[in-house]
Structure formats: structure tokens, C-alpha cells
Amino acid sequence: MQATLSALVAHDIKNALALLEIDLEQLNHQPNVPVEGVRAYRRCVELKARLIGFLTLYKHDQSGLQPMISEVDLIEFIDEIIEGSQSVMTAQSHHGHPITVQVDRDRIKIDPACTDGGFGFFDENLVELALESALNNALRYAHHKIVLWFEQGVDELALRVLDDGVGVEDEQRAENSSSTGLGLALCRAVAEAHGAGSVSLERVAGGGTLFTMALRPAIG
């Protein structure tokens, strides 16, 4: 009963945040919007995303996630995540620089042996939720740029998000809250729902953090 009540409260807060998000979005369409208004809108979007993540994890813990597998055009899928992200629209670094978010098509790799090269088979809504969480986390640390791409093999589809921040070790020390942990738990739950999937974070040479979600064997 207590867990059910918590979920109901989270749903109620999520709905209230959705209304607040609409009000803040309308405010941001007005001329001469103060920077505080932009920040409030982004924080509202992030908080709503965290609540949706919490509710998804609650469902995972209670009954498990049941993915609805469909065929997905991978490049179109990643493009739409970027274009539809409200956080990306207002993305700025801690120093006030705009952050560029784009698909790095030069990094995309497709094994010639894949019979459905360029198409993945997974639950589009769940994987989108996970990648948006990873993207929001990258936006908190990026200095100037974030790139997304995928690498498709016969037995694995790897979806990647790379930021140019300080690197995962320093980020984890600086992020003195549970938001990153919640996001990773959500991504792992989604990956596990697609079979023997996995999630990883690693620091890259020269700074920055690489997020990888590997889905197995949910591709053709």
C-alpha cells in the first residue's frame, strides 16, 4: 500500500509539473525573457523527466518492464530525440556558452553482415526515455558539444552519447545528488528489459564522458 501511494503521489506531482511546464514554456515565448525564466523552464523539464524515470523504475521493480518491440529507423530515431528535446532547446554550459547537440554520422558503424542494417528492433518509447535521460545528464556537464551515434553489429546495438565535459570521475564527485544514479538505474532497467543489455559510463582521453547503452539481442 505504501509503495502504491508513493506512485500515486509521483503521478500527481508529474501532472502538476506538466501544467507548470506549459506555463513556463509560454513565458519563454514572450520577448525579453529573463535568464531566470529560461533556467526555471529547463529545471521543470528535468524534474518532470526524473519523475517519469522514477515511475518507470517503480514499474520495473513491481512487475518488470514489458517492451513493445518494433522496427526503428536508427538515424531518424536519434535525430528525433535531439529535435524533440526541450532541454536541448535551452542548453547552455555553466559558463553561459551554447551547447551544440548533433548526430555524429562519421562515427556510425553498421556491420555488413546485418540483414537489417540501419534498423533496430526495440521498444522505441522505453529506449527514447533512457537516451533522453543520458542526454540530460550530458547537458549538465558538457562545455560546448554533445554527439550521439550508434554502432550496429550482428548481435549487439550500441547507442552512444559523448559530452566534452570534465570526465566521469570528476562529474560523479561533483554531482552530489541521486539524479545521475536514478538516470543510470533507469537506463539499466530499459537495457535489461531488452534481453542481456548493459549500460556503461567511461572517461575518454582528453576529457569528456562516453555513455553506452548496448541492446542484445533485440536487433535483426
How far apart, in whole angstroms, are the C-alpha atoms of residue 163 and residue 145?
6
Same domain, 43 and 71: no
Residue 17 confidence (pLDDT) above 70: yes
Q: Clarify whether residues 137 and 91 are in a common domain.
A: yes
User: Is residue 62 a contact partner of residue 3, using CB atoms and an 8 Å limit?
Assistant: yes
Are 55 and 72 within one domain? Answer: no
Mean pLDDT computed over 197-213: 90
Backbone angles phi, psi at 81, to 5 degrees: -60, -45
Neighbours of 29 (CB within 10 A): 8
Last residue of a domain, one of 13, 38, 64: 64
93 and 148 co-located in one domain: yes
Structure pTM?
0.78
Query: Which of 16, 46, 64 is at the close of a domain?
Result: 64
17, 49, 64 - which closes a domain:
64
If asked whether residues 188 and 92 sit together in one domain, one would say yes
Higher pLDDT, 80 or 5: 80
Q: Do 58 and 71 fall into the same domain?
A: no
**Which among 72, 61, 186 has a CA at the least distance from the CA of 134?**
186
> Are 186 and 81 members of one domain?
yes
Its domain, for residue 5, covers 1-64
Does 106 lie in the same domain as 146?
yes
For residues 220 and 213, give the distance between their C-alpha atoms in angstroms, rounded to a whole number. Answer: 17
Q: Are residues 181 and 151 in the same domain?
A: yes
One domain, residues 21 and 125: no
Q: Is pLDDT at 174 greater than 60 in this prediction?
A: no
How many domains would you assign to the chain? 2
Average pLDDT, the chain: 82
Percent of the chain with pLDDT over 90: 35
Q: Tell whether the model's pLDDT for residue 6 goes beyond 70.
A: no
Among 158, 78, 67, 182, CA closest to 110: 158
Q: Give the Cα separation of 155 and 147 in Å (integer).
A: 24
Model pLDDT for residues 54-75, shown as the tens digit of each residue:
788 778 777 778 899 999 999 9
Residues 56 and 100 in one domain: no
Judgement on whether residues 132 and 209 belong to the same structural domain of the protein:
yes
Q: At 160, which CATH number?
A: 3.30.565.10
pLDDT of 195 over the 90 cut: no
The one-letter amino acid at 9: V
